[in-house]
């Protein structure tokens, strides 16, 4: 227990010696530096205030220790100063006084600079020493004893202080002449009271050791008496008056500020009307002091650190902060019989009290003027509150009508209910729910603290499937299965039913039920995320078939990003389904309305205060009996109609017996009693009334968030060795309306403000301890639960525990990446990098974390940022001389260029890496990885020889080293080459080899890519039924993954199949479906492919205008994404369009530009194609180059090994000579082309071949 009573007073009290006089020497120690420190740290919240507290302890502890070791004791504290007294004859005790003073001064000279992360602060001690008398007085203040010191020694110190200097010890004239040596250490033993509650209330003795931050009302008053003999009577009346208004009398001192009374309200216990209590005390003090003399005072109202100040040997219960300092400034500036306050106090009290404005005044220690007012008196007549009173029936009708209209018109709607905290949003929505039985309401609670991914939906699903945390996993599974299977049976739509069956394990996993060998277990992290979205969408569609549903987003201003992302996808899928949204939200701090930015019809409602009539009904239900009108008016005026304030204040009035039940009617006893203007005061007051054990329980629970698990809370409470029947605390707090049970193992604070208030009143060090304890409890209870990583990051971050925070930031980032929550993963990784920024031993972790960031940014298409990240990786890897990571940095750099379609840059990097590998003879897996990527680059650059050699090497090496992934890729790429050469049968063989390897390794995507390729090859060689089978097999396989992007990838191939059959309208429908999927996914590259396919179909339909339109759309998107090869492939269709339209100038220009592009990119991709069409353009223009162009065309036609190419070129020659009206050559090339097309069509019923043959025959 803290020693709060000086040993001198303890001794005198034990001797029944309650007043007297002694002689000795006093030291007044004023520490300069705390003013600037306080003002600076005030900007940094709880951490800043706590640093102030620890700094005070650091400096005071050593000084007080020196005083006690040299036989003195502390008489009183005055903010950043204190007075010590040494009893005895001056000549005997002066050596000890000097030793103590010099020791304290030396300590401050050594520790004159405090280095903090908020800056460096200078500290100096100014000390004065004087002898004289010390008088003490132990007096009654009503409930307890108080004590004070005064005498000539304090007055003498005050006189000497006027001439003192910082960093020096100044002695009074007499003492300065005395020079005695220190002969023997004079140490007096403490005489602690057996029970300090004689002088201090239990609220102080039981106050949290670490202190708290509270909203305190601080008063300082100077007094001067007509006669010294009046002192005891005056001080006792002061103590009695402070006690009357239930404040705390800290001290009565005599010092450099004169005779001063320091009292405050709000701590150690608070009341709903502390401001009014303190004002009443000062006004009463002003009146009765006229009998004794006169006073002047200052009053402030604000957040202060409340707790114990001083050292281990002696402490003082006080409140520290700017409010305390400013109260002394007001007091010093005031004239006699004047009480000064600031603007905030005036604004809070102006309805009930009169003030006189004094203008803006400069105060010592403040850089800017402060608006100042004089408190005059309480108003004789208080104005009644004149607020706008609006009932809830109108709002209820508005919501019901809005939802009814939406249901009738079959239009999805989002309805917002906005309002301040405690205004009754949840109550109104509850009434809506109870009155609309024809609708099912899905309650989705958004969490303020942790904002876990999809938390509102997980919250709802656990309730929907009766997932009681106390139940065994078997029971949880049983409940889930029964409800889920019933839902399947009740679903009529086959498509929804099939999807419910497919995604059952996905929804089960979302609520913590993992089924062995299920679809969820087989999917990778990306597909799990995508399937979760699909499963949720389908689930809500299913339950909406039974009844229309309303998704209630409770506290939507706290919704997490992943839930917002889901809602944006969800609202696009619910057209035609009776699904609507009802969101309750607070306003933003600036008064604006936080909206979800959904593309859906919206309506909104803003709630104001409830009516007095509704307030009467509310209070009656709460108290269980009738209430008289006077009580209703009184409570309503003070609460301003806020339902939460109504509840809390009514309960407090009842607990404090300010109301009484007479003849079945509740009545107000004390009409003069002022209720609070701030709900925080009400909550603090209610929390103060809890037992210490209950208060400890609530303070532990609040760090876990508004909703908390009892299992975690009980584990935390073990540390405080509370009794084992912990459920008693839960039930007691529930009875006290602190929280309510939402299940056997989960509780919810009745209001966010309540949790916030309890949290904010605790000091930084205490919160750090509790957050660390929460993290350790979670780890002990759920050691292998990855879903807890977010919680652990939050708690370790708040606890300022860097090492475990580093560990779990990395784990949380990795898990978020696995679950495809890219933005959340980036947030974790960026926090991790910031944390280890200046740690040299974490260089490799910085590099590896940036690798992870690069991969995410690449997947998101944020190339510019990704490029900067990988450049940093390379720089750090070089500095670390880590060859493995240097290689990886360069490889990732090349991969970034590949994803952007910049193959020449990728080629430079990969070729150099390959050379290094070969020179080092480092033939490992990374060698195969480089070869594989290089093969892809060769392919896109049209480097056929290099590609062939690369593939042969890769296949040989992969077989030897059993690297199945790279072997599979090599076979697939070989097949693509054959497809470009129109060697379809050869391509099929390579695709089948790739398929075989993929199947052996259970690689779903490898299997899918091979099946799609085989289908395309069979389409081109006219085996349409087989192609269709392969596409169906692909769709069946990929549907299991739920990956929409992969599923969509086969649609262009299916469209081409329809084109080959001459089913152009069907082809357009397929391409339209592909387009919509890519629009939903936001895939620009996919959209460009869709437009390219439209361009191709319209060309085949000979609708050249539409073909050109889609060509331009596709080209714009390819340019936007920077995908070079996409542009080149698209130009190939444009060449045919220009040829058909006889626009040979445009044709030649496009060919030349494309060839220049290829040259600039060092690419041979489709180079021959553009060269031959350039020759056709020149030949058809009939100029000097025509003859040479024709020779080139004939040569290429003759030398080509492909019958497909020969047939197309002879067909183009036929059309060219037809335009030139050269009948002989027209006929010649018609016959050649016709014969070749007939050969091609023998085993290939391709519709385009048939129409071309018909054209040539006619």
Answer for the pair 716, 770: CB distance below 8 angstroms, yes or no: yes
| Spatial distance between the Cα atoms of 155 and 336, rounded to a whole number of angstroms | 20
pLDDT digits (tens, 9 = 90+) for 1117-1150: 888 766 677 788 889 999 999 999 999 999 999 9
In a domain, 1127, yes or no: no
pLDDT band for position 674 (50/70/90)? very low
Task: Confirm whether 1242 is domain-assigned.
Answer: no
Average the pLDDT over 338-355 and give the result.
90
> Do residue 539 and residue 417 come from a single domain?
yes
Q: Which of 606, 632, 662 is the last residue of a domain?
A: 606
> Residue 1042 region, left (φ>0) first, then alpha (ψ -120 to 50), else beta?
left
Look at residue 80 and tell me if it is in a domain. Answer: yes
Q: Are residues 73 and 218 in the same domain?
A: yes
1119 within domain boundaries? no
Cβ-based burial of 919 (10 A; exposed 0-12, middle 13-18, buried ≥19): exposed
In a domain, 624, yes or no: yes
* Mean pLDDT, residues 571-586: 92
Mean pLDDT of the chain: 86
- How confident is the model over 342-371, as a mean pLDDT? 89
Cα 213 versus chain centre, distance: 25
414, with CB counted inside 10 A (0-12, 13-18, 19+), is buried
Look at residue 190 in the predicted model and tell me its pLDDT. Answer: 47
Helix (H) or strand (E) holding 368: none
Between these two residues, 1049 and 799, which has the higher pLDDT value?
A: 799
pLDDT at 527: 85
Q: Which residues pair with 370 in a beta bridge?
A: 361
Question: What pLDDT does residue 649 have?
Answer: 78
Does the pLDDT at position 941 exceed 60? Answer: yes
Query: For residues 1142 and 1027, what is the distance between their CA atoms, to the nearest angstrom?
Result: 36
Give me the mean pLDDT over the 326-334 stretch.
Answer: 93
Structure tokens of 997? 């390897």
Tell me which residue range forms the domain holding 648: 612-677
Residue after which a domain boundary falls, among 572, 606, 640: 606
Q: HSE-up of 703 (CA within 13 Å, CB side)? A: 33
Domain count, the chain: 4
Mean pLDDT of 746-765: 77
Residue 107, pLDDT > 80, answer: yes
- Is beta strand 169-171 parallel, antiparallel or unpaired with respect to 124-140? parallel
Note the pLDDT of residue 753.
62
* Mean pLDDT of the region 584-589: 82
Average pLDDT over residues 708-718: 89
Write down the pLDDT at residue 390. Answer: 45
pLDDT at 905 over 70: yes
* CATH number of domain containing 482: 3.40.50
For residue range 404-440, list pLDDT tens digits in order.
898 888 899 999 999 887 787 887 888 888 888 889 9
pLDDT for the residue 733: 84
Residues 528 and 551 grouped into a single domain = yes
Among 86-90, 186-190, 377-381, name the most confident range. Answer: 86-90
- Over residues 471-487, the pLDDT tens digits come to 788 898 999 999 999 99
* Chain position carrying tokens 């194609």: 1169
pLDDT of residue 382: 42
pLDDT at residue 185 greater than cutoff 90: no
Cα separation, 1212 vs 1206, in Å, equals: 10
Residues 585 and 531 reside in one and the same domain = yes
What residues have CB less than 8 Å from 536, skipping those under 6 apart?
Answer: 454, 457, 507, 510, 566, 570
d(CA 196, CA 216): 24
Nearest to 465 by CA among 452, 477, 456, 447: 477
Q: How confident is the model at residue 257 (pLDDT cuts 50, 70, 90)?
A: low
Band of residue 996 on the pLDDT scale cut at 50, 70, 90: very high
Q: pLDDT grade, residue 184 (50/70/90)?
A: very low
- The CATH number linked to 344 is 3.30.70.1230
Q: If you average pLDDT over residues 1057-1065, what whole number do you get?
A: 93
Q: pLDDT at residue 1078 above 50? A: yes
Judgement on whether residues 569 and 636 belong to the same structural domain of the protein: no
Give mean pLDDT, residues 1213-1235: 93
**pLDDT value for 191:** 45
> Rounded to whole angstroms, how far apart are CA atoms 720 and 920?
62
Domain end residue (candidates: 850, 875, 900)? 900
Q: Is the pLDDT of residue 488 over 80?
A: yes
Domain match, 578 and 622 both: no
CA distances from 509 to 497, 502, 528 (A): 19, 13, 10
**Non-local CB neighbours of 1157 within 8 Å, separated by 6+ positions:** 1124, 1127, 1128
- Do residues 170 and 306 share a domain? yes
Same domain, 595 and 649: no
Q: What is the pTM of this model?
A: 0.62
The verdict on 181 and 319 lying in the same domain is yes
For 537-546, the pLDDT digits (tens) are 999 999 999 8
Residue the block writes with tokens 């299916």: 1054
User: What percentage of the chain has pLDDT greater than the value 90?
Assistant: 44
**pLDDT of 196-251, one tens digit each?**
788 988 888 878 766 777 789 999 999 999 988 898 999 999 999 998 888 999 88
Query: Are residues 138 and 200 located together in one domain of the fold?
Result: yes
* Region 352-363 average pLDDT: 91
Q: Identify whether the C-beta of residue 951 lies closer than 8 Å to the C-beta of residue 970.
A: yes
Point out the least confidently predicted range of 136-150, 535-549, 799-813: 136-150
Q: At 314, is the pLDDT very low, low, confident or very high (cuts 50, 70, 90)?
A: confident
Asked whether residue 339 is domain-assigned, the answer is yes
Q: Is the same domain home to 598 and 630?
A: no
Q: Which residues contact 592 (CB under 8 A, 6 or more apart)?
A: none
For residues 524 and 585, membership in a common domain is answered with yes
Comparing 1088 with 20, which gets the higher pLDDT? 20
Between 73 and 650, the more confident residue is 73
pLDDT at 444: 92
Answer whether residue 1102 is part of any domain. no
Q: What percent of the chain has pLDDT over 70?
A: 92
Long-range contacts of 119-124 (CB under 8 A, 24+ apart): 119/40, 121/33, 121/36, 121/37, 121/40, 122/33, 123/31, 123/32, 123/33, 123/34, 123/59, 124/31, 124/32, 124/33, 124/166, 124/167
Instruction: Please indicate, yes or no, if residue 1192 is contained in any of the structural domains.
Output: no
The residue ranking higher by pLDDT, 637 or 399, is 399
Average pLDDT over residues 549-571: 92
Residue appearing with tokens 């050869």:
986
């Amino acid at each position: 227990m803290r020693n709060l009573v000086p040993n001198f007073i303890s001794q005198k009290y034990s001797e029944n010696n309650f007043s007297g006089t002694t002689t000795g020497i006093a030291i007044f120690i004023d520490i300069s530096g705390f003013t600037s420190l306080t003002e600076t740290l005030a900007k940094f919240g709880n951490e800043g205030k706590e640093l102030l507290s620890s700094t005070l302890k650091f400096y005071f502890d050593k000084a007080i220790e020196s005083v006690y070791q040299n036989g003195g004791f502390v008489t009183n504290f005055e903010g950043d100063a204190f007075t010590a007294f040494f009893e005895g004859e001056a000549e005997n005790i002066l050596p000890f006084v000097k030793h103590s003073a010099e020791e304290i001064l030396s300590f401050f000279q050594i520790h004159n600079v405090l280095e903090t992360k908020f800056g460096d602060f200078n500290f100096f001690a100014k000390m004065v020493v004087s002898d004289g008398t010390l008088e003490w007085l132990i007096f009654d203040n009503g409930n307890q004893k108080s004590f004070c010191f005064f005498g000539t020694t304090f007055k003498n110190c005050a006189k000497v202080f006027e001439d003192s200097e910082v960093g020096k010890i100044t002695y009074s004239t007499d003492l300065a002449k005395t020079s005695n040596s220190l002969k023997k250490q004079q140490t007096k033993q403490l005489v602690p009271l057996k029970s300090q509650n004689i002088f201090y209330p239990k609220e102080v003795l039981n106050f949290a050791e670490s202190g708290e931050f509270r909203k305190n009302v601080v008063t300082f008053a100077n007094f001067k008496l007509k006669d010294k003999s009046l002192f005891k009577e005056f001080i006792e009346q002061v103590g009695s008056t402070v006690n009357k208004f239930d404040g705390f009398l800290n001290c009565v001192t005599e010092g450099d500020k004169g005779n001063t009374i320091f009292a405050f309200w709000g701590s150690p216990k608070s009341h709903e009307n502390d401001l009014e209590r303190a004002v009443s005390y000062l006004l009463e003090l002003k009146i009765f002091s006229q009998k004794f003399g006169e006073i002047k005072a200052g009053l402030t109202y604000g957040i202060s650190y409340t707790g114990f100040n001083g050292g281990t040997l002696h402490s003082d219960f006080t409140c520290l902060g700017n409010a305390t300092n400013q109260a002394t400034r007001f007091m010093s500036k005031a004239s006699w019989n004047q009480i000064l306050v600031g603007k905030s106090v005036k604004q809070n009290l102006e309805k009930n009290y009169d003030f006189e404005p004094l203008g803006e005044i400069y105060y010592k220690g403040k850089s800017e003027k402060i608006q100042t007012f004089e408190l005059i008196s309480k108003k004789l007549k208080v104005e009644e509150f004149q607020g706008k009173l609006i009932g809830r029936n109108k709002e209820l009708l508005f919501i019901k009508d809005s939802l009814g209209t939406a249901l009738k018109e079959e239009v999805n709607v989002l309805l917002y209910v906005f309002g301040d905290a405690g205004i009754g949003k949840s109550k109104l929505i509850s009434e809506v729910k109870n009155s609309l039985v024809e609708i099912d309401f899905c309650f989705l609670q958004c969490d303020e603290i942790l904002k876990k991914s999809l938390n509102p939906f997980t919250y709802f699903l656990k309730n929907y499937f009766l997932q009681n945390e106390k139940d065994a996993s078997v029971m949880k599974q049983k409940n889930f299965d029964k409800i889920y299977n019933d839902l399947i049976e009740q679903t009529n739509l086959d498509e929804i039913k099939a999807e419910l069956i497919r995604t059952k394990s996905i929804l089960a996993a979302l609520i913590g039920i993992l089924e062995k060998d299920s679809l969820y277990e087989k999917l990778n992290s990306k597909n799990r995320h995508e399937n979760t979205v699909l499963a949720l969408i389908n689930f809500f569609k299913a339950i909406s078939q039974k009844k229309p549903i309303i998704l209630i987003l409770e506290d939507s201003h706290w919704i997490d990003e992943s839930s917002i992302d889901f809602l944006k996808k969800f609202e696009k899928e619910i057209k035609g389904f009776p699904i609507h949204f009802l969101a309750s939200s607070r306003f933003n701090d600036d008064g604006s309305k936080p909206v979800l930015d959904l593309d859906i019809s919206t309506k909104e409602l803003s709630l104001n205060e409830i009516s007095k009539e509704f307030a009467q009904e509310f209070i009656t239900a709460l108290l269980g009996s009738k209430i008289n009108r006077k009580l209703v008016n009184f409570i309503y005026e003070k609460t301003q109609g806020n339902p939460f304030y109504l509840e809390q204040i009514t309960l407090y009035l009842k607990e404090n017996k300010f109301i009484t039940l007479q003849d079945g009617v509740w009545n107000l006893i004390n009409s003069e009693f002022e209720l609070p203007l701030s709900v925080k005061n009400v909550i603090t007051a209610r929390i103060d009334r809890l037992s210490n054990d209950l208060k400890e329980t609530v303070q532990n629970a609040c760090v876990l968030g508004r909703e908390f698990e009892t299992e975690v809370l009980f584990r935390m409470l073990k540390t405080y060795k509370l009794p084992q029947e912990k459920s008693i605390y839960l039930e007691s707090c529930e009875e006290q309306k602190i929280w309510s049970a939402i299940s056997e193992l989960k509780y919810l604070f009745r209001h966010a403000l309540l949790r916030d208030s309890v949290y904010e009143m605790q000091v930084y060090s205490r919160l750090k301890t509790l957050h660390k304890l929460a993290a350790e409890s979670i780890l002990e209870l759920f050691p292998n639960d990855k879903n807890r990583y977010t919680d652990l990051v939050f708690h370790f971050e708040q606890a300022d525990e860097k090492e475990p925070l580093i560990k779990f930031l990395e784990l949380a980032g990795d898990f978020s990446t696995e679950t495809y929550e890219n933005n959340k993963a980036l947030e974790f990784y960026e926090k991790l990098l910031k944390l280890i920024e200046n740690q040299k031993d974490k260089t490799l972790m910085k590099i590896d974390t940036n690798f992870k960031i690069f991969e995410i940014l690449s997947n998101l298409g944020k190339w510019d940022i990704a490029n900067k990240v990988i450049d940093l990786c390379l720089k750090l890897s070089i500095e670390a001389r880590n060859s493995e990571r240097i290689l990886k940095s360069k490889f990732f750099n090349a991969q970034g260029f590949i994803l952007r379609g910049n193959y020449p840059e990728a080629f430079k990097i990969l070729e150099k890496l390959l050379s290094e590998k070969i020179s080092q003879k480092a033939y490992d897996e990374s060698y195969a990885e480089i070869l594989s990527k290089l093969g892809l680059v060769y392919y896109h650059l049209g480097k056929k020889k290099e590609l062939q050699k690369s593939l042969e090497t890769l296949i040989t090496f992969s077989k030897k080293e059993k690297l199945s992934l790279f072997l599979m890729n090599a076979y697939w790429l070989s097949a693509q080459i054959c497809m470009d050469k129109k060697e379809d049968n050869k391509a099929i063989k390579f695709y089948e080899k790739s398929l075989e390897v993929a199947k052996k390794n259970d690689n779903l995507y490898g299997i899918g890519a091979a099946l799609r390729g085989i289908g395309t090859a069979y389409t081109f060689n006219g085996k349409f039924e087989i192609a269709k089978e392969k596409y169906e097999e692909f769709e069946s396989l990929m549907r299991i993954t739920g990956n929409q992007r992969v599923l969509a990838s086969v649609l262009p191939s299916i469209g081409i199949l329809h084109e080959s059959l001459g089913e152009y309208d069907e082809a357009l429908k397929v391409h339209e479906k592909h387009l919509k999927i890519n629009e939903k996914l936001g895939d620009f590259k996919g959209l460009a492919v869709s437009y390219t396919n439209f361009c191709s179909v319209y060309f085949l339909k000979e609708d050249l205008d539409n073909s050109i339109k889609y060509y331009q759309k596709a080209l714009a998107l390819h340019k936007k994404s920077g995908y070079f090869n996409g542009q080149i492939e698209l130009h190939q269709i444009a060449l045919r369009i220009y040829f058909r339209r006889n626009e040979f100038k445009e044709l030649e220009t496009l060919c030349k530009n494309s060839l220049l592009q290829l040259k600039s990119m060092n690419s041979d991709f489709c180079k021959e194609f553009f060269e031959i069409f350039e020759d056709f353009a020149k030949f058809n223009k009939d100029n000097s180059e025509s003859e040479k162009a024709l020779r080139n065309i004939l040569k290429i036609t003759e030398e080509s090994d492909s019958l497909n190419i020969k047939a197309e070129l002879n067909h183009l020659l036929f059309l060219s000579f037809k335009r030139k009206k050269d009948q002989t050559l027209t006929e010649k090339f018609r016959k050649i082309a016709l014969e070749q097309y007939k050969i091609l069509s023998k085993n290939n019923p391709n519709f385009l071949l048939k129409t071309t043959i018909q054209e040539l025959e006619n």
